[in-house]
A and B are shown apart, each in its own frame.
Chain A
């Protein structure tokens, strides 16, 4: 590669860095102040681009070329206003929910916004016009360089500077910084926290909208942008350090430059092997994130996170299942066992139940580390996928008999968890979550590209159960294994190991002081969760006859998170309820309407507002209220002395 070519690629990187930074900056601000993991940030970005497209098309007709630039200003403001609305109408109601619950609300928003965009703008990609005055290119380093890129290179640092000024030089900025560092103090200052949050959320949304709007001359508005940009934004924010804007810019620069170099260098010849760096761009940002987080657990310029800002009441102590719950469990089990017998009347029920059972096991395994463990994983699908692929590869490539392949598959996932867990449990909070995501993306990209073994993007096929495990037998195998796993996980939660895990979550300081090796307990829990997720994956692959990389993609991990949160993270039956409700709802809504994403998202929003502690949390609350009511009756009798 020539030196001038290298320089030219670095310039390209600078322009990309600005684009990345603009999306990430708002996310970083929002997280820093409100601690909300805003999944809908990518949707704001997408909206920014769509709104910019429409306003520019409208304004250019009326104002001429100036309309373009006016449109570029109007669109972010509109998105910012929409962000404020979202905060006031939705998020405000769920700040007191358990940690991460807000993620559920923003996930639902992603679905609703995507379908609304489809409805309003149609399915076609919309390529905006070029920027008047910056449409062409200039000669730089003997190459043509788009003049609009120069504009982009400037606007990133410019926005960084302006936001920095806003935070450093205004009273509002001081409050925002105070909120980032210590929320209690903010309350003590007598600040109206609600409006501060609204303002920050709106500013964050505005920045995302701006990020989208400035892409107008470079990429067509399309419906896939929301999920694509949210991944990038999270990576940049985490690599930079949550809440640090200069960190976000630095991270954006690092990632954009590394990508540009990968593309620029193309193929390299190492040790007699041709290695395509261009193909590495599939995963390079996650490689960077993994390395940065392993070396610097709080990102490049981040600070250790203050303890959880969780304002929800502490989890209630575990109680062994009462007779009521036992009966319900038995009835459900018997009903599930009876489904294949009802084939004539309910032919689809056992088909759906098969998938629901697998989802339940996946959710239970994730809940084990998220609930009792307090370790939030955004990459749990990796272990589900490792189980599924493990089974497939053992069966097809190593030609093991099906029962052996099935048995060893969870161990493959367990091994993966053993390796990745060692790194992950050293981190905490969102950083931990993002490291799990990075590892899952790395595994995904290996599976995606290793055609000879994994079948590449098309995946493996022909992974069917042995003949004696035909349709109904396989359903019963699934039912028995899932039920046994659920009981076993429950058993573990009530055992010393499960208690040690919860103890480490409640207070790592105290756990350490009474002699608990917090890291080791968490690591062990990570492996246990990996094993059960792997079992779910193995059950999945033989029920579908194959597997493709989508089972370990981000979407699958997010589905797991949503199931756990929807059911209620503080209750052991939470994941069971959450996974069942999620799967059955999605299946039936998908069939009922073309706009199923919006309806599904709407239903989740409704559930979020009605059950701010998850479905199981709601019922536990009801139960407690009933118990209090029942306890009041004796109070009418002559009062006993109370201690």
Chain B
């Protein structure tokens, strides 16, 4: 049975159907990319899986448990970690403290009010930071980091609750080519090691074609294609959508950097 089952998922904003009846499955150990031009409904779908938006219709099941209607924090405790398109960390906390917070939340110690955070889950947090290559920056405030580094911290935080599913919204935005490949290789390794699954969106087709096991293509809120790199590359409807928006697979476009 698949880890995540999405069935007939829809979202309407007023009269606009941002996402319109999407189906897909995601299996353990899989790195699934969701691509599509701007406004295709990628972030909306993401936010529905993560609970930030409530679906207008359809269902999202994680190992048989319904996520539609659940709040983000409940979804988190069900084993979903996520990163955001515009990275969100706690700016006045250090890198280490950010990660400790995620661990404290996972271990349900948020309402403890006596022992300082300093001595709690320090080793685990450092281990997570080590995994994403941020251990050297552990004591720095998050507000001082380069954008790519903030994304790594986000990843460490997302991993803190031993997620079964990791949602990554444009994980490599703002990074150089080498850094991108490193991060995605790292992600792939984590997926295998931790036996989890990743759903990610990405503008950089390089990254997608190089690292995704499978991909979903969205356009105007609908799922127009699904398959591996080869079949997507040659899918006529996908080519039309992408060429229509002035993009080609041969020369990946430089997306605007936030």
A and B touch in their complex, CB below 8 angstroms: yes
Q: Which A residues lie at the B interface, using CB under 8 A?
A: 313-317, 320, 491-492, 494-500, 502-503, 506-507, 509-518, 521, 524, 643
B131 within 8 A of A: no
B143 and A496 within 8 A (CB) = no
A497 and B110 within 8 A (CB) = yes
- Of the listed stretches B35-43, B87-95, B176-184, chain A binds B87-95
A509 and B52 within 8 A (CB) = yes
Within the assembled complex, what's the spacing in Å between the Cα atoms of A407 and B112? 23
Name the residue on A nearest B94 (C-beta).
A317
Q: What residues on B are CB-neighbors of A316 within 8 Å? A: 92, 141
Within the assembled complex, what's the spacing in Å between the Cα atoms of A500 and B84? 19
In the assembled complex, the CB of B82 is this many whole angstroms from the nearest CB of chain A, namely 5
Q: What residues on B are CB-neighbors of A510 within 8 Å? A: 84, 88-90, 154, 157
A643 and B136 within 8 A (CB) = yes
Within the assembled complex, what's the spacing in Å between the Cα atoms of A521 and B91? 18
| Given known A512-B73, A643-B136, contact A496–B84 (CB-CB < 8 A) | no
A515 and B92 within 8 A (CB) = no
Name the residue on A nearest B157 (C-beta).
A514
Within the assembled complex, what's the spacing in Å between the Cα atoms of A492 and B114? 6
A515 and B76 within 8 A (CB) = yes
Q: What residues on A are CB-neighbors of B89 within 8 Å? A: 506-507, 510
Within the assembled complex, what's the spacing in Å between the Cα atoms of A276 and B164? 62
Within the assembled complex, what's the spacing in Å between the Cα atoms of A502 and B90? 8
B117 within 8 A of A: yes
In the assembled complex, the CB of B76 is this many whole angstroms from the nearest CB of chain A, namely 4
Binary flags per residue of B63-81, CB closer than 8 Å to A gives 1, else 0:
0000000011100110001
Which one of A314, A320, A496 lies within 8 Å of B109 (CB-CB)? A496
A314 and B110 within 8 A (CB) = no
Number of A-B contacts (CB under 8 A): 123
Beyond A492-B113, A506-B89, list 13 extra A-B contacts (CB 8 Å). A496-B109, A497-B111, A497-B112, A499-B100, A500-B105, A506-B90, A509-B84, A513-B50, A513-B52, A515-B77, A515-B106, A516-B73, A516-B110
B113 and A497 within 8 A (CB) = yes
Within the assembled complex, what's the spacing in Å between the Cα atoms of A492 and B113? 5
Q: What residues on A are CB-neighbors of B105 within 8 Å? A: 500, 514-516
A513 and B82 within 8 A (CB) = yes
Within the assembled complex, what's the spacing in Å between the Cα atoms of A517 and B117? 18
In the assembled complex, the CB of B67 is this many whole angstroms from the nearest CB of chain A, namely 13
| Given known A317-B92, A498-B113, contact A517–B118 (CB-CB < 8 A) | no
A499 and B97 within 8 A (CB) = yes
Q: What residues on B are CB-neighbors of A499 within 8 Å? A: 93, 97, 100-101, 104, 117
Q: Which B residues lie at the A interface, using CB under 8 A?
A: 50, 52, 71-73, 76-77, 81-82, 84, 88-94, 97, 100-102, 104-106, 109-118, 120, 136, 141, 143, 154, 157-158, 160-161
In the assembled complex, the CB of B131 is this many whole angstroms from the nearest CB of chain A, namely 17
Which one of A494, A497, A516 lies within 8 Å of B118 (CB-CB)? A494
B72 and A512 within 8 A (CB) = yes
Within the assembled complex, what's the spacing in Å between the Cα atoms of A85 and B94? 42
B93 and A512 within 8 A (CB) = no
In the assembled complex, the CB of A309 is this many whole angstroms from the nearest CB of chain B, namely 15
Within the assembled complex, what's the spacing in Å between the Cα atoms of A24 and B204? 50
In the assembled complex, the CB of B170 is this many whole angstroms from the nearest CB of chain A, namely 15
Q: What residues on B are CB-neighbors of A517 within 8 Å? A: 73, 110
Q: What residues on A are CB-neighbors of B118 within 8 Å? A: 320, 494
Within the assembled complex, what's the spacing in Å between the Cα atoms of A492 and B136? 28
Q: Could you list 25 A-B pairs, sorted by A, with CB under 8 Å?
A: A313-B143, A315-B91, A317-B141, A491-B116, A494-B116, A495-B116, A496-B109, A496-B113, A496-B115, A497-B112, A499-B117, A503-B90, A509-B52, A510-B84, A510-B89, A510-B157, A511-B90, A512-B52, A513-B50, A513-B73, A515-B73, A515-B77, A516-B73, A516-B105, A643-B136
Within the assembled complex, what's the spacing in Å between the Cα atoms of A394 and B158? 50
Within the assembled complex, what's the spacing in Å between the Cα atoms of A514 and B113? 19
| Given known A500-B105, A514-B76, contact A495–B90 (CB-CB < 8 A) | no
A494 and B117 within 8 A (CB) = yes
Which one of B81, B90, B141, B161 lies within 8 Å of A507 (CB-CB)? B90
Name the residue on A nearest B76 (C-beta).
A515
Q: What residues on A are CB-neighbors of B81 within 8 Å? A: 513-514
Which one of B76, B91, B110 lies within 8 Å of A513 (CB-CB)? B76
Between A496, A498, A509, A524, the greatest number of chain B beta carbons within 10 A of the residue's beta carbon is seen for A496
Which one of B71, B82, B104, B116 lies within 8 Å of A320 (CB-CB)? B116
B112 and A503 within 8 A (CB) = no
Q: What residues on A are CB-neighbors of B93 within 8 Å? A: 317, 499, 502-503, 506
Within the assembled complex, what's the spacing in Å between the Cα atoms of A497 and B101? 10
Name the residue on B nearest A518 (C-beta).
B73
B97 and A314 within 8 A (CB) = no
Within the assembled complex, what's the spacing in Å between the Cα atoms of A492 and B110? 11
Within the assembled complex, what's the spacing in Å between the Cα atoms of A510 and B110? 15
Within the assembled complex, what's the spacing in Å between the Cα atoms of A446 and B83? 48
Q: What residues on A are CB-neighbors of B114 within 8 Å? A: 491, 495
Which one of A495, A515, A518, A524 lies within 8 Å of B115 (CB-CB)? A495
In the assembled complex, the CB of A516 is this many whole angstroms from the nearest CB of chain B, namely 5
Name the residue on A nearest B116 (C-beta).
A494
Within the assembled complex, what's the spacing in Å between the Cα atoms of A514 and B72? 8
Within the assembled complex, what's the spacing in Å between the Cα atoms of A317 and B113? 18
In the assembled complex, the CB of A506 is this many whole angstroms from the nearest CB of chain B, namely 4
Q: What residues on A are CB-neighbors of B102 within 8 Å? A: 514
In the assembled complex, the CB of A160 is this many whole angstroms from the nearest CB of chain B, namely 28
In the assembled complex, the CB of B129 is this many whole angstroms from the nearest CB of chain A, namely 14
Name the residue on A nearest B71 (C-beta).
A512
Q: What residues on B are CB-neighbors of A516 within 8 Å? A: 73, 101, 105, 110
B92 and A502 within 8 A (CB) = yes
Between B101, B102, B136, the greatest number of chain A beta carbons within 10 A of the residue's beta carbon is seen for B101
Within the assembled complex, what's the spacing in Å between the Cα atoms of A492 and B109? 13
Name the residue on A nearest B143 (C-beta).
A314
| Given known A499-B93, A506-B93, contact A514–B143 (CB-CB < 8 A) | no
In the assembled complex, the CB of B252 is this many whole angstroms from the nearest CB of chain A, namely 27
Within the assembled complex, what's the spacing in Å between the Cα atoms of A80 and B73? 49
Q: What residues on A are CB-neighbors of B161 within 8 Å? A: 514-515
Within the assembled complex, what's the spacing in Å between the Cα atoms of A516 and B102? 9
In the assembled complex, the CB of B75 is this many whole angstroms from the nearest CB of chain A, namely 8
Within the assembled complex, what's the spacing in Å between the Cα atoms of A29 and B56? 37
Between A316, A511, A514, A516, the greatest number of chain B beta carbons within 10 A of the residue's beta carbon is seen for A514
Which one of B76, B117, B158 lies within 8 Å of A496 (CB-CB)? B117
In the assembled complex, the CB of A340 is this many whole angstroms from the nearest CB of chain B, namely 32
Name the residue on A nearest B84 (C-beta).
A509
Name the residue on A nearest B161 (C-beta).
A515
Q: What residues on A are CB-neighbors of B120 within 8 Å? A: 496
In the assembled complex, the CB of A212 is this many whole angstroms from the nearest CB of chain B, namely 42
Within the assembled complex, what's the spacing in Å between the Cα atoms of A235 and B77? 41
A500 and B110 within 8 A (CB) = yes
